[in-house]
Amino acid sequence: MASFNKVFLIGNLTKDPELRYTPQGTAVSNLRLAVNRKFKDKNQELKEDTCFVTAVVWDKQAETCNQYLHKGSPVFIEGRLQSRSWEDASGQKRSTIEVRVERVQFLGQGPSSKGTPPAAATDEGTAENAWMSDEEEKLPDGESHF
């Protein structure tokens, strides 16, 4: 049976990134994202719906997001859905579904700025290869195989 797990979201951060490090020293950051949808209801009245999503960014990309993003920053996120479960302090089982981020594209600086962001942050931490998949290679002159 075929399966496919890919998510593309454009939205604004609802708060500053939360950077932390695992015991092994790996950077991880949660991005809380608000994604808006405008539509007309059955009476043709314009409505707006907001979906709040947690996106988890790892490694150098997490540090880059923490450095340049802030509450209100518009971002484009590419990733996959990932579920996780845990037991809370009271012993109850909890679970959530989040976006495991593969790429973040900074769309603008939003209301205030922490600095001048690169065009994109990826797991490799560079903007120039932000939209290249693992299978694609850079040509010697810097062009990509598209």
Extents of the domains making up the chain? 7-122
Contact (CB, 8 A) for 116 and 130: no
The pLDDT of residue 109 is: 60
Q: Which tens digits make up the pLDDT trace of 37-73? A: 999 899 999 999 999 999 999 999 999 999 999 999 9
Cα–Cα distance for residue pair 45/68, rounded to 1 Å: 38
Q: Which tens digits make up the pLDDT trace of 108-135? A: 765 554 555 554 444 444 333 333 333 3
The pLDDT of residue 128 is: 33
| Interval 99-115 mean pLDDT | 77
Question: CATH classification of 7-122, choosing from 1.20.1250.20, 2.40.50.140, 2.60.120.10, 3.90.550.10?
Answer: 2.40.50.140
